[in-house]
Structure formats: C-alpha cells, structure tokens
Structure 1
Amino acid sequence: MATSLETRPQTDPGFGARYSTFMSRHSSLMPTFAAVVILVVLLIGAQVQFGNFLTPGNMSALLLDNAYLVVLAVGMTFVILTGGIDLSVGSVMAFTGILLASLLAQGVPAIIAIPAVLLGGAAIGLLIGVLVQYFNVQPFIASLAGLFLARGLAFVVSLSSIRVEEPAVLWLQRTRFSVGDFYITPTGIIALLVVALAVYVLHWTRFGRTVYAIGGGEQSARLMGLAVARTKILVYVISGVCGGLAGLLLTAYSGAGYPRNGIGTELDAIAAVVIGGTLLTGGTGYVIGSLIGVLVYGTIKKIISFMGAEQSWTQIIIGILLLLFIVVQRVIVARSARQRR
C-alpha cells in the first residue's frame, strides 16, 4: 500500500504581517531611516526650488562647514547611549580652540600644542565622568559645571580673538583633495575617520557593547559583570577629546581662536544626535545616524541661506524636527515595552 505525504499550501502572511515583523525586529533603525528620508527630501526639494543646489561645490561644502559638529556629535553619541548628557562640549571646543591659538602664537610647535589641547578636553571630560560616577551628580548638572569651567578657562586664556598663522593648522582647511568636481579637506577626512573609528568601537568591541548595555539598563549591566564605572567615565573622556578635536577643526576652519566660539553648539550636537535616531533614554542609536543628523542640520542652514532668510529659522525648523523625533522615540519605547510583556 503506497502512501504519500500531504503537503499543506503555505499561506502568504500578507503585507501587514510582514511589516509588523520587520518593525519589531528593526524598530531601532526606524528613526535613522526617517532621518535619511528627511535628508533626501530636503536635498531634492532644494534642488527643485533653486535649480543649482545639488552642485559638487555645495555638497562638498556641506561636510567642510560642519566637520567640527560631526566630531562633537560622535562624542555626544557615546554619552547619550549610556543615558547621559554632556552640555560642556561647545565650551570645551572654545577653550581648546583659544588655547591652541595662544600656544601657537607663543611659538609652541604644533606637534606639542595639538596633543596638549586634546588632553585639556580629555581632562574636563574626566572631571565630568568622575562627578557622575563617583559623586552621583546628575549628568546634566555635572556637565553644566564643565560648561562653566571650560568657558571660564577660555576667557582666562584670552578675552579676544587670536589669529593662527601656523601653516600646519591652516593646511587642514586650505588643502583640497579633488575627485572630479567634488573635493574634501583634511578637516572633513578627520571627521569621517572619527565616525569610522566610533562605528568600529561601538559595534565590534567589548567597550562598545558595554556602552549599549549601560543604556539598556545599568543595573543589569552590573549584574552581567560589565565594567560599568570605567565605561561611564570613559564616554565622557571620549566626549571631551572630541570637544578638543572639534576645537582644532574650528580653529583651522576660521583661522583664529575665539573664547566665545561654540555658544549653543552643544544643543546643535544634541539635536543632531537625536535627529539621527539615538534615544535620549540610552541604549539605542547609531553613530552613522548622528552623521546623518548633522547633514540634515547643515542642509537646513544652507537652504535658509539660499532663501536669504534669517538664520533663526534654522532653529525653528530644527525645533520642529526634534519634537517630531522625540514623539517617534516615545512610540518606539512604548512598542518595545509592550513586546517585553
């Protein structure tokens, strides 16, 4: 007697089921995808409106003009991923920039002055990290103290602008490496290298996995035996170093150090990170998203400039985008909470 296996036809789960499955598996990527979509819409809309927006010169200048902000956003991403915040980065950038200009004006070689200002930024970051970890000071208050400290130190160094004449520093901005009609400067290359290094550290090292684990739940990370204290301090040190490096890039960009540089820039960096999809509660986010967030910010500024409108509109538009992305983040957090039940 012959038998045959009966096969049941497989039913298509349908678009709705496939969409729900994709969202549940990749919900953390949704804000970053949204940022990419917004960037593409802005670029296409500006090209349609102005006709000469998507030129090689404009697109190359987008990275050149915002290289320092990319570096700040990378450092801020590390901090926010742990559930913290760093309000000091704009002031650290100003302090390290004016300190660099002052050291160079006094004849200190660039090979000594540049590491010195990076160490200065790291020291302020270390101070904030110690306050947060060992004195249980809220990150907002600890980094606010760092903000006032760095800004005060900047005014101690000089009350006025100091021009930079060092060829090695000016070379970072004035040199152009061309690919067809596009170009990139050493400042842009440094910014992209910082992004690439951060991606590697966060996604392929134990330190990076610990950063995400702390943001997901600090107590759980401790129970897993992870180096929570060391990691929390190091993320603020990284942010401080990025602030120092941003000071170098901004000084090269402007050709001078100025103690009032960077006022409010910490908010720009936070906005870029949030727009790029990093949750303010920590544990979810991507450095590439922060880069996209900076490009969105820079594109909006350039569109406002093309329109001849007041730059205050940049802040208004960024504020609207922040509200939108915060709502999106809350939806993602609520969805994740329901799935864990």
Structure 2
Amino acid sequence: MTTTIEHAQAAPTPPWHRRAIERARRRGIDVRTLPTGAAGIILAVMLVYGEIAYGQVLQASTLSNLLINNAHFVILAVGLSFVILAGGIDLSVGAVIAVSSVAGVMLVGAGWPTPLAIAAMIGIGTAFGTASGVLVQHFGVQPFIATLAMMFLARGLASMLSTTPQRLPDDSSFRLLGEPWKLIDGPRVNDLMASAGLVVAVVVVVVAAIVLQRTRFGRTVYAIGGSESSAALMGLRVPRTKLAIYVISGTLAGVAAVVYTARLGTAQNITGMGWELTAIAAVVIGGTLLTGGYGYVVGSVIGALVLGLMTVLITRDGGVPPEMTTIITGGILFVFVMLQRAVVRRRR
C-alpha cells in the first residue's frame, strides 16, 4: 500500500499542465515532491541573498539562532501537518499555546515543580486536541467550526487566568530549557549553539517523519486525506485515526508552549495570536496539500524556516516596514497554492 490514496479528478487538467507533468515523469521526477523541493530552493536562495545583501547570514551563530528561535514554530507546524494531511484543519493551536503558557507560568509561580508544570501545559494541549477530535469524529462537526470553537474557548480561558504578562521567576529551573548552550566555540561571537527546545523540536520532527512514513497509522493518515470513504472501505481505522490527529496537534501545541515559554520567560493571554494561520502557511509552503493526501514533515519544517528567515532578513534590512512580513507571506503562499495545482491528480 502506498503512502497516498489518489484524489478523484475534480477538474480537467490543462494541456500545458499535462505536458509538463509528462516531461517530469520521463525524467524520473516525482511531481508530488515538487512543492517541497521548491520550498527548499527558496530557502537556499534566501540564505544566499541574505549573505550577499547583508552579510553574516551563512554563519553558525545566525543559523543557530534561526533554529533556536523557531523551534516552537517547527513543533507547531509538525502537529498541523498530521491534521492537514488527513484533510482537516486546526485553528485552535495558537490559543492553546496562550492558555498553556499562562497556566504553566502561574503554576511555577505558585510553587509547582517544573516537571509538573510542564506536564500540566502539555496536558492542557492534549485536552483541547481531544475535545476538537471528539467534536469532529463523534459529533460530525466540521473541523473548521470545531477548532474555531476551541480557539475561542482557549483564548477566553487564557484571559480569565490573567490579562497581564506573567513572568517566570529568575531562579526557576524552567528557564534552563530555553538557555542556549555552546556546541562549537567559533571566532568572535560566531558560535554554534543549541538548546533543549531545539533538541525537542528535532526529536519531534524525526518521530513524526517515522510515524507518517513507516507505520500503519501514518499510511492511514495519508489514506484519509486522499479519500476517507476509500480508506474506510479498505478496513483502515478511520475514526480512531481522525481523533488521534487532533490529539497529536493539541499535544504538540502544548509542547510548543513549553519551548516558547522557556525561551522567553514570560507568558500572556495574547500569545500565539494568528500563529495558527502562520503555521498553516508554513505547512502549505512546505508542499502539503490543503485537501490532504500529499505532503512531508520535512516540507513543513522547511516552510517554517522560510517564514522565520524572512523575518530575519526584513529585520536586517531595516528599511522594510514590519507589515511587509504579512504581505510577503501572502505572496509566497499564493505562489505555492498555484504550484500545488501542478501536482498530479491522477484518476483512480
């Protein structure tokens, strides 16, 4: 069984489109990997452009900071990859990060041990993911509506907990998770750095890739995204899998909250505002179809790094207003949505 179930053809393919696909096939190119490959090329071009235009981009310290500062975002994108690959959507993850972060910092301030506070933060994410999955699978609520409801609920709970920023105690062991460590002592400040949060992100990416590509559960996720009815007729565990993907997304949102809070040392009820849309954009830029069935975890990681590097380059430029980040993100997303149209929708 392959890792995808092919979509039924929804619309006729233009002649130029068919010719391009046939040329790719003759050259041994898997057209399903084209969007992910394009994202990788864009990331490489951005790195080279940044080095030429601003300097000190292709160096250990800058790349280390890019990875460390976007570790939570990578984790968030990986969680959403499971949902989108199955043809769903999760709009609650940004608000889940907010309520998890505020609750975690307040628990630490109340004297809870760091491990228990971390477990509570991840548990909050799991609880919201489970609620979304139950609404979608067992009550037949559309994923958009179910997760939108969870988003409002989580944001409201975060505001009820506190409307002012909460700060971790300076001597809290929680902060150690966000402290960077030096791996290689480079010249001047050009050191290769890492952090516990980055290690967690790497582990999440590796485990997610193995699960999606090497397990029955992962094949079922792809199959549901290709055709849920076909997956059910094949005897796959569709209900259990649909519930599980939202649990995974919520749990990883809780993990992302831990990583983000440890790095910043603060939390507030407006944390994560709009992050769900940015994470969805990262997944799409990485080559995952919004209709489900096609995509790779590594593509979502590349998409997250593309958006993170774009912010770095705009900051380095200094003359570009911050609002341009949203405009450029929209432009890149539009290009990749059009590129996804070039992915083959073969007849069954």
Cα deviation for residue 116 of structure 1 reads 1.4
Read off the aligned partner of 1:219 and give its amino acid letter.
S
Q: Which residue of 2 aligns with 1:257?
A: 267
Q: Verify: 1:281 aligned to 2:286, yes or no.
A: no
Aligned match for 1:121, one of 117, 125, 131 = 125
Specify which of 216, 234, 253 is matched with residue 224 of structure 1.
Answer: 234
Distance 1:17 1:98, change over 3 A: closer
Q: Is the 8 A contact 2:24 2:31 kept in 1?
A: no
Cα deviations by residue, 1:55-100 (Å, 9 ceiling, x for unpaired): 2111110011111100100000000000000000000001100000
Q: 1:307 maps to which residue?
A: 317
Q: TM-score, normalised by structure 2?
A: 0.89
Say yes or no: does 1:211 pair with 2:221: yes
Provide the identity percentage. Answer: 46
Counterpart of 1:336 in structure 2 is 345
Q: Which string of whole-angstrom CA distances, capped at 9 and with x for unpartnered residues, describes residues 22-57 of structure 1? A: 46x611111000000000111101111112222211
C-alpha contact 2:21 2:31 (8 A) present in aligned 1 = no
Q: How many residues in Structure 1 have an aligned counterpart in Structure 2?
A: 322
Q: Trace 1:178-193 onto structure 2 (pairs within 5 A).
A: 178-180=183-185, 181-193=191-203
Deviation at 1:222, TM superposition (A): 0.3
1:85 maps to 2:96: no
Rounded Cα–Cα distance in structure 2 between residues aligned with 1:136 and 1:84:
13
Offset at residue 311 of structure 1 (A): 1.6
1:171 maps to which of 168, 176, 179: 176
**Given the two structures, how large is their TM-score scaled by the length of structure 1?**
0.91
The 2-side partners of 1:32 and 1:16 are apart by 16
Distance 1:143 1:21 in 2: 43
Equivalent position SS for 1:331? coil
Task: Provide, for residues 114-139 of structure 1, a one-character-per-residue CA deviation record: whole Å limited to 9, x for no partner.
Answer: 11121111111111111111111111
Q: Residue 120 and residue 17 in structure 1: after superposition, are their counterparts in 2 closer, same or farther (change >3 A)?
A: closer
Per the TM alignment, residue 249 of structure 1 is displaced from its structure 2 partner at its CA by: 1.0
Q: CA deviation at 1:148?
A: 0.3
Corresponding residue to 2:243 among 233, 250, 254:
233
Q: Distance in 2 between matches of 1:17 and 1:113?
A: 55
Which runs of no fewer than 5 residues in structure 2 stay unpaired? Answer: 1-19, 186-190
Structure 1 alignment gaps of length 5 or more = 1-14
Between structure 1 and structure 2, the one with the greater Rg is: 1
Q: Does 1:316 align with 2:321?
A: no
Matched, 1:45 2:61: no
Distance 1:17 1:266, change over 3 A: closer
Which consecutive segments of 4 or more residues in structure 1 shift more than 6 A? 15-18
Structure 1 position 200 matched with structure 2 position 210: yes
3-state SS of 1:211 partner: helix
For 2:144 and 2:276, locate their aligned partners in 1 and report how far apart those are by CA, in whole Å.
12
The farther-off stretch of 64-73 and 153-162 is: 153-162
Q: What residue number does 1:295 align with?
A: 305
Partner in structure 2 of residue 4 of structure 1? none
- DSSP-derived class of the 1:178 partner: strand
* From 154, 159, 165, the counterpart of 2:158: 154
Q: CA RMSD in A?
A: 1.6
Q: Which amino acid aligns with 2:324?
A: W
Q: Which residue of 1 aligns with 2:13?
A: none
Q: 2:143 matched to which residue of 1?
A: 139
CA–CA distance in structure 2, aligned partners of residues 167 and 99 of structure 1: 15
Q: Distance in 1 between matches of 2:234 and 2:22?
A: 35
**Structure 1 counterpart SS, 2:341:** helix
**Which segment is superposed worse, 109-118 or 146-155?**
109-118
